Amino acid sequence: MESRIGTAVGGTAHAEPVSVPELLNRTRALCTPPLRAAVARLAAPMDTVAAYHFGWIDRNGTPVAGDGGKAVRPALALLSAQAAGAPAEAGVPGGVAVELVHNFSLLHDDLMDGDETRRHRATAWTVFGPAQAILVGDALATLGTEVLLDAATTGGASAADAARAVRLLNTASRRLIDGQAMDVAFEQRDTVTVAECLEMEGGKTAALLSAASALGAVLAGADDRAADCLQRFGEHLGLAFQAVDDLLGIWGATEVTGKPHWGDLRQRKKSLPVAAALAEGGEASRELAEQLADPQGRGEESETELAARALLIEKAGGRAWTQEEARRQHTTALAALDEVPMPDVVREHFVALAEFVVVRER
Amino acid sequence: MESRIGTAVGGTAHAEPVSVPELLNRTRALCTPPLRAAVARLAAPMDTVAAYHFGWIDRNGTPVAGDGGKAVRPALALLSAQAAGAPAEAGVPGGVAVELVHNFSLLHDDLMDGDETRRHRATAWTVFGPAQAILVGDALATLGTEVLLDAATTGGASAADAARAVRLLNTASRRLIDGQAMDVAFEQRDTVTVAECLEMEGGKTAALLSAASALGAVLAGADDRAADCLQRFGEHLGLAFQAVDDLLGIWGATEVTGKPHWGDLRQRKKSLPVAAALAEGGEASRELAEQLADPQGRGEESETELAARALLIEKAGGRAWTQEEARRQHTTALAALDEVPMPDVVREHFVALAEFVVVRER
């Protein structure tokens, strides 16, 4: 396929984004209208529940001005289309589909986990009830498949490539569900191993970033080898992303993350720093294990106690190990990217986006 | 494609089933092993929850001898492959996929509706908790798509036909979800129109029977016209099936249906006989409307009061209208079947199965 990089947006090379914020803005400009159109296909009242969940309206139905989220997943889908020599637009069905599947999982996970807020807003199940959260999650999952199949009838992809894209997304959905199943099972346990934690995070975070990084390329007809490399890039980027998330969940400043102080520790979340600290086996590690095995005071720890626990995790090497793990995964991701031939400007975008994802404060 | 009817099972014409029970037995023999294999791919503990839901094990994990359900949906899928001139085996991925999607919807619906028993057994969410019911439902839905895509790699279908099959199933899933959304919304209302009731039942029952009736044919490479006719056959058969179900929900003998006496009336379910009776407008119709609008005594009606309500529905013509509707839909289904050329033995099976579905006592 002839390379059309530089003419993808607006028909001139000048339109190619020059920064990550510009890249994300372009992504939202291309993906939000078809995402809204897909959601508008849902029967009432599911369309309203979905629009609330996406942050487009408030609980009274009044439109809300929002940035529509970070849009990292659809940005990867658009870049992967460009990597295959197609315009960014060819990746749009992939970008829309990953957003739909991501939000299907958020709707169901929030309900299963009993989470009452997400990004400072009441979660959908608390506003519209559990039945609507289940229904709308189910509907978004099927819409994701529909959008990819439509790419073959209206979006310029071949039927075979649309089917490859559906398989890619469906496999990611299965891993998402497996990851959430592990997360739910871990709730009942005092400890998890680093390997279990990585497998869970592979499902909950890496699977969809992996699919996103290849979906646009697959829709644009890329060969399996290129698609595999792009998937590996997304997989390792996802693991790096989650390692950073786990660090911020303990040591991130509340005013930046928007999450409660020591929230992950208070919930006794089985995150990488904790699993790594428990695996270390020294004095701090053993003391941490004792604290986590103690059913007393669960969820009622004081700020001081939680700060002391964070220090134990750090002393047992959990913080340093996770920082190193994030760097390792980031490096492995970039190595996978190097295996795929693509226009320089596209590679630069991928690298900048990976940096943005891994080096962040929230 | 060369017709292989008669050699589909066992290699001889004698192996072709000669009765509906034999047809259903053959269906279970062909579809249950791959269905179990698909479910076994789920990560623990979801595989156990699914096996319990399907009735293969009890709550302690002990294997249970069961007939595996009526298997009408997979039987339709297998017949539709034969209608397209392929062996019944070519429809197996379709049969497995519709069972997976059907059970995804049962798992989620039972939770949403708060139903504590299904076929005399405790529902999965009451045994394993709501989170497992959500997760396993999600997993079965994705498995359904996976099984159809696998048909292209291992089952002999072309990639394009597998993609057509995925679209067929995905559209049915969307309608299933829409139907359940209507059902949930109707819970808050005193009355629904006949048209609304038919639309809801079209989603909840007819959509999947419609997809089942064409999935095998699509996997076997049937043209769009044949697939459309088979879908219409399944659609009208589904509406006939649901009309009969609605009649049995009010006038079926408890010892035969296994459902509580007057259960549908006690729950004030918006079924066809009720909607038709309300639409009639005469004296009995108005009295019925008054009773249903009265919030007093909801769910606490005596047997005598419910028997009187059933009589009101009958007086207002709701029973006769629904009986006539079942006959009408059955006739329309058979007319659609007549439009598709197929071997006589396959048509006879379709006709016998349709008769079995519509003329039943449970």
CA distance B38 to A174: 12
SS3 at position A347: helix
What number is the average pLDDT over the span A126-155?
95
Closest chain A residue to the Cα of B152, Cα to Cα: A163
| Percentage of chain B exceeding pLDDT 90 | 79
- Residue A297 clears pLDDT 90, i.e. is over it: no
Residue B5 pLDDT more than 50?
no
Average of pLDDT values for B255-279?
A: 82
Query: What are the tokens at A270?
Result: 């089985």
CA distance B162 to B155: 10
Is residue B38 within 8 A of residue B96, CB to CB? The reply is yes
Question: CA torsion sign, A321 to A326 to A327 to A328?
Answer: positive
Domain boundaries, given as residue ranges, for chain A: 13-235+334-358
CA distance A181 to chain B (A): 7
B66 three-class SS: coil
Q: B329 CB near a chain A CB, below 8 Å?
A: no
The distance of A161 to chain B (nearest Cα, Å) reads 10
* B321 has a pLDDT exceeding 90: yes
Q: What's the N-to-C CA distance of chain A in angstroms?
A: 39
Average pLDDT over residues B53-75: 90
CA distance A267 to A287: 18
Q: Which residues pair with A117 in a beta bridge?
A: A122
Average pLDDT, stretch B238-260? 83
Average pLDDT over residues B274-282: 96
CATH number among 3.30.70.1350, 3.30.70.20, 3.40.50.720, 1.10.600.10, domain A13-235+334-358: 1.10.600.10
Per-residue pLDDT at A322: 97
* Among A41, A42, A30, A105, residue whose Cα is nearest residue A68: A30
Mean pLDDT of B64-72: 80
Q: Number of helices (H) and strands (E) in chain A: give both, helices first.
A: 17, 2
High-pLDDT (> 70) share of chain A, %: 92
Minimal CA–CA distance to B181: which of B126, B75, B105, B252? B105
| Residues in chain A within 8 Å Cβ distance of B47 | none
What's the mean pLDDT in A209-229?
Answer: 98
Cβ-in-10-Å burial (0-12, 13-18, 19+) of B153 comes to exposed
Q: What is the number of other CB atoms lying within 10 angstroms of the CB of residue B199?
A: 18
In the predicted structure, residue A314 carries a pLDDT above the cut 90: yes
pLDDT average, residue stretch B215-237: 98
pLDDT at B171 over 70: yes
Predicted local confidence at residue B176, as pLDDT: 97
Model confidence at B69, pLDDT cuts 50, 70, 90, reads confident
A112 has a chain B CB within 8 A of its CB = yes
pLDDT of residue B252: 84
Residue B362 has pLDDT above 60, yes or no: no
Q: What is the largest CA-CA distance in chain A?
A: 65
Q: What confidence category does residue A190 fall into, taking pLDDT thresholds of 50, 70 and 90?
A: confident
pLDDT computed for residue B103 by the predictor: 98
Q: Cis peptide before B45, with omega less than 30 degrees from 0? A: yes
Flag whether residue A209 sits within 8 Å of chain B, measured between CB atoms: no
Q: How many other C-beta atoms lie within 10 A of the C-beta of residue A351?
A: 14
Across the range B302-317, mean pLDDT stands at 93
Q: How far is A167 from chain B (nearest CA, A)?
A: 7
As given in the structure block, the two tokens for residue B43 are 């990560």
Q: Measuring CA to CA, which residue among B46, B51, B165, B176 is closest to residue B109?
A: B176
Q: What is the dihedral of CA A248, A251, A252, A253, to 10 degrees?
A: 170
Give the pLDDT of residue A14: 43
How high is the pLDDT of residue B67?
A: 61
Distance from CA of B17 to the nearest CA of A (A): 35
- Chain A contact for B124 (CB, 8 A cutoff): no
What pLDDT is stored for residue B9 in this prediction?
A: 42
Would you place residue B182 in the very low, low, confident or very high pLDDT band (cuts 50, 70, 90)? very high
More confident: A307 or A259: A307
Q: What does pLDDT average to over chain A? A: 91
d(CA B11, CA B70): 26
Give the pLDDT confidence score for residue B237 in this predicted structure. 98
* DSSP H helices in chain B: 20-40, 46-54, 72-83, 92-113, 124-128, 130-153, 159-186, 194-201, 207-219, 224-251, 254-257, 263-266, 272-280, 283-293, 303-315, 318-338, 344-358
CA–CA dist B323, B326 (Å, integer): 5
Nearest to B136 by CA among A140, A110, A100, A180: A180
B162·A163 Cβ contact <8 A: yes
**CA-CA distances (angstroms) from residue A273 to A248, A292, A320, A321, B343?**
10, 14, 8, 7, 65
Q: Which two structure tokens, joined as six digits, stand for B17?
A: 């089933």
Residue-wise pLDDT tens digits, A104-136: 999 999 999 999 998 889 999 999 999 999 999
- Residue B3's pLDDT is what? 38
Chain B residues in contact with A149 by the CB 8 A cut-off are 163, 166-167, 170
Closest CA to A356 of A76, A80, A130, A161: A76
Which of A182, A203, A189 is CA-nearest to residue B132? Answer: A182
Tell me the mean pLDDT in the region B317-328.
Answer: 97
Tokens coding B32: 């249950």
Best probe of the B interface among A177, A196, A218, by most B CBs < 10 A, is: A177
Measured between alpha carbons, how far is B151 from A77 in angstroms, rounded to an integer? 27
Burial A233-265 (b: 16+ CB within 10 A, else e): bbbbbbbbbbbbbbbbbbbbeeeebebeebebb
> Are B181 and A46 within 8 A, CB to CB?
yes
Complex prediction ipTM:
0.92
First to last CA, chain B: 39
* A residues 281-320 lying closer than 8 A (beta carbon) to B: none
d(CA A305, CA A298): 11
Cα distances from A76 to residues A31, A148, A198, in angstroms, run 12, 16, 22
3-state secondary structure at position B31: helix
Residue A16 to chain B, least CA–CA distance (Å) = 34
Cβ-based contacts under 8 A for chains A and B:
115
Query: Which range (B78-87, B103-112, B249-258) has the least confidence?
Result: B249-258
Question: pLDDT band for position B79 (50/70/90)?
Answer: very high
Give the pLDDT score at B10.
39
A65-74, A268-277, A319-328: segment of lowest average pLDDT = A65-74
- pLDDT score for B314: 96
Q: How confident is the model at residue B309 (pLDDT cuts 50, 70, 90)?
A: very high
pLDDT in tens, A70-104: 899 999 999 999 999 999 999 999 999 999 999 99
Residue range B291-299: mean pLDDT, rounded: 81
**Which helix (H) or strand (E) is B268 found in, with range?**
none
Closest CA to B87 of B78, B76, B95: B78
As beta bridge partners, residue B283 has none
Q: Spell out the CATH class of B13-347.
A: mainly alpha
Strand partners, A23: none
Give me the percent of chain B exceeding a pLDDT of 70.
92
Select the residue from B39, B109, B153, B170 to test the A interface by mutation, using most A Cβ atoms within 10 A: B170
| A142 contact residues in B (CB cutoff 8 A) | 141, 170, 173-174, 177
Burial call B213-240: b when 16+ CB within 10 Å, e when fewer? bbbbbbbbbbeeebbebbbbbbbbbbbb
